[in-house]
Structure 1
Amino acid sequence: MKYRVLLVISLVLLSLFVLAKEKIVVNSYISDPVPRIVFAELVQMFEKEHPEYDVVVNTFPHEDFKTLLRTWLNSDEAPDVVTWFAGERMRYFASKGLLASLDDIFAPETFEDYFPAAFRSACEYDGKIYFIPQSWYWWGVYYRKSVFEKYGITPPKTWDEFLKVCETLKENGITPITIGTKYLWPAAGWFDYLDLRVNGIEFHTELTAGEIPYIDPRVKKVFEYWKQLVEKGYFLENHSSYTWQEAAAFLFRGEAGMYLIGQFIKDVAPASVKDDLDFFRFPVIDPNVGLFEETPIDGFMVPAKAKNKEGAKVFMKYIARKDVQEYFAKKLGRLAANKNVEPPDEHARKGLQMILESDGVTQFYDRDTNPEMATVGMNGFVEFMIYPERLDQILENLEKERQRIFGGQ
């Protein structure tokens, strides 16, 4: 009887302890299988360190998440933490008062004690930090080493060499370039890189800031290079019906030769081809223009309407730590945002070296421009890839939208 009473008391105390746990709700777009597992492991490690918290992770498909985030941030039932992108995409919400500032999580240290000083501009708005970066990655032209070796192809460094590689692949029955534009953004990678190689970073930054007309002859010049690839049939047929992952399968099977994409392609690569994947820097078009690269930064924000801001900040401080970022980066072959973490493998070291040797970096079209303009722009890019003869009409439409969205700057 005595033991039974003690057991009942223990169970009551245990249930009270469980009930006393504070909930931290995290809405996440980390939906690809491998990153999702690794993030779940990080959450479990956090709960072990902080048994007073119960972290509930709600995972959404990437494209659904982009649509839903605005609703969540405006809701009185906002989650405590959300995944998102640094740069303009974060600043857009911060400027509307929808995010909580996070400077105090570093005290008595500073943001720069954790992250490169160059990251501050992508993580702050109006002098305050609103974004905790977790990882970043480079973009490159990915290919299978065995396929290039089979056809005696050397990774090209110039545009003319790149065109020759495309032609060699096509002559051997291989689609030169795979791409999936069902969700638009992979096409923006092509626009960004062509613009950066043709016009440079200052022009590109001014364009994405709405300061340069889309009917400017320098913008049209970008599409003239793109048109060479489209008209020669170098891109995957029916690309608008494929997601980026589905398009990657053509590369994995050796049916396509190259893919301009971020390092995250390795997240979905089969084990049998992962070590056969390599990348090269987007080729030089004008040797007088510097080498500029795309380096999107992913991380977390706290909604201004979060119910458990204090718990959210504890979680954010955890996410910023060297050991936690190193765990995530090592498992996925990414580059950690925390500056004290070494590249996890040779592939990541090569990517880091490419970025260190570049003349400057941008985020990505849909992260660097106004969100509404990004949607219009990316629709225009995909339309051009399908109907290149409509270029003038597409650029005129983009210009009308630019004037409407940016107020005719």
Structure 2
Amino acid sequence: MKRGLLVLLVVILAFSAFAKTKIVINSNASDPAPREAFKHVVDMFQEKYPDYEVVVNTFPHEDFKTLLRTWLNSKEAPDVVTWFAGERMRYFAEKGLLLPLDDIFSDKPFEAYFPASFKSASEYDGKIYFLPFTWYWWSVYYNTEVFKKYSLTPPVTWSQFLHVCEVLKENGVTPITIGTKYLWPTGGWFDYLDMRVNGYKFHMDLTAGKIPYTDARVKKVFEYWKQLVDNGYFLANHSSYTWQDAASFLFRGEAGMYLMGQFIKDVAPAEVKDKLDFFRFPIIDGNVGVYEETPIDGFMVPAKAKNPEGAKVFIKFLASKEVQDMYSKELGRLAANKYVTPPDAHAQKGLDLVLASDGVAQFYDRDTDPEMATFGMNKFVEFMTFPQRLDILLKQMEFQRRKIFK
């Protein structure tokens, strides 16, 4: 009997010696290219840290946004989650649902890895809660073959942009594709128009809830947007399409342009990638400055993570130049690590566009309160469908602003 117990104890101890510590990661990288690239990141980690077993659960982007709140409040929270910098991160940090990551930077400060400008988007109340991994630019992507066919050149001013739209429409090509089934692509239009009409400070004050949506300057933004809607320049029935669905119109040459982030190339067929180029969103009022959208994506550790120690080992691994260089090369992204050079000419052009700007914003749903963002983007889609309701929609948004920001 005693011999049997001794053998069992030896087996248990031997198993324990070889058992791996599990790190559970919930990821929103559901498109094929970023999903495969992240798999390579995990493979690199497990080769370097063989005592860990990394389990990656991948969810569709829109489902992830809904489920994240549930996970962060659950006793079964994952150890690491993908997410967005800025207000989207701070919303959860303020509620105590995230672990601070400052101890990761005990040997080297945050600024030793990342641009100092990234710190404000990664911290809350003086503590770091977000690990920047990649960032990218927004711009107007266009099909170069379509432009060549109709002798068009990338517009610089708003009047030139309207001219391009009209030429495309006259030739049976949808000037601007967009998919608003999941709302957020409209946020890019609002941000750019507001920053081009009213400037960066006004836009930041508006998204911070300090300016009424009924302000005449906000209405002016929609009046420019209305020119495009009234002229029929946007893809018909856009609320039926996801952003990927809408991109296919650009890829096939049935649409000429698409205001979108660099990640559009993730879903572009191989034979189309080289036919895509981009230009800066047109200038409306050069006196207010030129500002761009540059969202930062990365990782957080839930406060209820079962393996916070392992999670932080993984997070610190993600900060390294080696890892971010590999990932950025696979996807053509700009790495958050400041020592990683742009992976190709396309990314270098995007970086040059950002460096030549007067400042950057994150994105409407990352710069304002999440509840306000959802409500606002619903109204943006409604405006694109029923532009005659503009005054009513602005009053509804103002009512919501007062309710949320008090």
Tell me which interval the TM-score lies in, with the shorter structure as reference length. Answer: over 0.9
Task: Give the equivalent residue in structure 2 for 1:84.
Answer: 83
Query: Corresponding residue for 2:107?
Result: 108
Kindly state the Cα deviation for residue 107 of structure 1 after the two structures are TM-superposed: 2.0
CA deviations 1:110-163 (Å, max 9, x no partner) are: 000000000000000011100001000000000011111111000000000000
* Residue equivalent to 1:297: 296
Partner of 1:6: none
Aligned counterparts, 1:329-344, within 5 A: 329-344=328-343
Q: Give the aligned partner of residue 306 of structure 1.
A: 305
Matched, 1:166 2:137: no
Q: SS of 2:360's equivalent?
A: strand
Distance 1:253 1:13 in 2: 60
Match of 2:96 in 1: 97
Aligned to 1:5: none
Residue type at the aligned position of 1:183: Y
CA distance in 1 between partners of 2:172 and 2:217 (Å)? 35
Q: Which amino acid aligns with 1:355?
A: V
Q: Which amino acid aligns with 2:41?
A: L
Tell me what 2:65 maps to.
Answer: 66
The residue aligned with 2:391 is 392
Give the SS at the match of 1:300.
strand
The equivalent of 1:383 in structure 2 is 382
Separation of aligned partners in 2, 1:360 and 1:100: 30
Matched residue, 2:231: 232
The one-letter code sitting in structure 2 at the alignment partner of 1:82 is: V
Gap regions ≥5 residues in structure 2 = 1-7
Q: CA deviation at 1:16?
A: 1.7
Displacement after TM superposition at 1:76 (Å): 1.0
SS in 1 for 2:278: strand
Post-superposition CA distance 1:255-283 (Å, at most 9, x none): 00000000000000000010110000000
Matches within 5 A, 1:202-351: 202-351=201-350
Aligned to 2:3: none
SS in 2 for 1:205: helix
Supply the distance in 2 between the matched residues of 1:259 and 1:65 (Cα, whole angstroms). Answer: 25
Displacement of 1:108 in angstroms is 1.1
- Counterpart residue identity of residue 178, structure 1: T
Please report how far the alpha carbon of residue 17 of structure 1 lies from its aligned counterpart in structure 2 after TM superposition: 5.9
SS for the counterpart of 1:122 is coil
| Structure 1 residue 63: Cα displacement | 0.3
Q: How does 1:156-195 map to 2 (within 5 A)?
A: 156-195=155-194
Q: Tell me which residue corresponds to 2:27.
A: 28
Match of 1:4 in 2: none
Tell me the distance in 2 between the aligned counterparts of 1:114 and 1:227: 43
Paired AA for residue 22 in structure 1: T
1:397, CA displacement in angstroms? Answer: 0.3
CA–CA distance in 2 between the matches of 1:303 and 1:222? 38
Q: Which shifted more, 246-255 or 37-46?
A: 37-46
Could you say if the C-alpha distance between residues 244 and 40 of structure 1 is closer, same or farther in structure 2, counting changes exceeding 3 Å?
same
Query: What is the CA–CA distance in structure 2 between the aligned matches of 1:108 and 1:338, rounded to whole Å?
Result: 16
1:388 and 1:201 mapped to 2: Cα distance?
Answer: 25
Which amino acid in the other structure matches residue 268 of structure 1? V
- 2:404 corresponds in structure 1 to 405
1:121 is paired with a residue whose SS is: coil
CA distance in structure 1 between the aligned counterparts of 2:173 and 2:364, rounded to whole angstroms: 29
- Supply the distance in 2 between the matched residues of 1:287 and 1:191 (Cα, whole angstroms): 18
In the aligned structure 2, how far is the partner of 1:244 from the partner of 1:15?
A: 52
Q: How many residues align?
A: 399
* Pairing 1:353–2:352 present: yes
> After superposition, what is the alpha-carbon deviation per residue over 1:28-48, rounded to whole angstroms, capped at 9, x for unaligned?
000000110110111011011
Q: What's 1:367 paired with? A: 366
